[in-house]
Amino acid sequence: MPVTIKNKEHIRCMMLAGEILAECEQLLKDAIRPGVTTLQLDKIAEDFIRSRGAVPSFKGYGGFPGTLCTSVNEQIVHGIPGTRRLVEGDIISIDMGCYIQGFHADMARTYGVGEISPLAEKLIRVTEESFFEGIAFAKAGHHLNEIGQAIQKYVEANGFSVVREYVGHGIGRALHEDPAVHNYKVPGRGLLLEAGMALAIEPMVNAGGCGLRLLQDGWTAVTKDGSLSAHYENTVVITDENPILTTMPKSGIM
């Protein structure tokens, strides 16, 4: 399918969706502590998103039961909210989306629960920093694969590995649109980026090897070696200059 170009009205709607997620993220950040369940976090998010007149993008998507993906420790992505209580030293990746006025936004963050290990702190920091290494190339005139190459180079220079089986994606009227946005080097230069393209860029980084396996629930992916994993994502609109990060507080323009 062709990559869709968003006009000013489309981008306005996506910025609204992103603003809702950024506000929701602050509520969740404040709620994450030892003893809270992942289902309690899910309820906070769903209640807030609906209170803003939006719809959770993930709930019911392909049969997924939650508003949030809540992935703890060795869980990489798509963890299902439930009765699990967070404990001191855990890390939790929260991935969420919302839909309003015909458009989606998508974001993810990883948080420490109480005091966490130096390794966990470094993993969370490097994952976030790798995103910003990648979006240095997220502007018109660059090629898509430059983003993934920059992410992979930074992650591996810090001793970690990039997940291969899950990648970022285009986003807009649909939660998942073309193109696939790899977080690692692939053959060729990739798509030429144009102003108005919207991408969900989301490095998923493992402290150990890049291998994974899927749990019996059919959703939750975990590291094959049991190492920690972190996730960082924003919805990014390409411009002729610096990208618009719709899911940063106040819809930050770089």
The string of DSSP letters for 101-161 reads: TTEEEEEEEEEE-SS--HHHHHHHHHHHHHHHHHHTT-STTSBHHHHHHHHHHHHHHTT-E
Instruction: Decide if 250 is inside a domain.
Output: no
Instruction: Decide if 184 is inside a domain.
Output: yes
Into how many domains does the chain fold?
Answer: 1
Q: How far is CA 33 from CA 85, 116, 121, 200, 246, in A?
A: 9, 12, 16, 28, 27
In this prediction, residue 2 carries a pLDDT of 79
In this prediction, residue 219 carries a pLDDT of 98
In this prediction, residue 68 carries a pLDDT of 98
In this prediction, residue 51 carries a pLDDT of 98
User: Residue 42's Cα: distance from chain center in Å?
Assistant: 16
Alpha carbon distance 203, 75 (integer Å): 14
In this prediction, residue 253 carries a pLDDT of 42
Q: How many CB atoms neighbour CB 127 within 10 A?
A: 30
Which tokens hold the place of 154? 């930074």
In this prediction, residue 254 carries a pLDDT of 39
In this prediction, residue 177 carries a pLDDT of 98
Q: What is the pTM of this model?
A: 0.96
In this prediction, residue 249 carries a pLDDT of 81
Q: Tokens 């049969």, residue?
A: 63
CA–CA–CA angle 196, 200, 205 (5° rounding): 145
**Regions of the chain where pLDDT drops below 70:** 1, 251-254
Q: Domain residues for 65?
A: 8-245
Instruction: Decide if 196 is inside a domain.
Output: yes
In this prediction, residue 1 carries a pLDDT of 65
**What's 140's domain CATH number?**
3.90.230.10
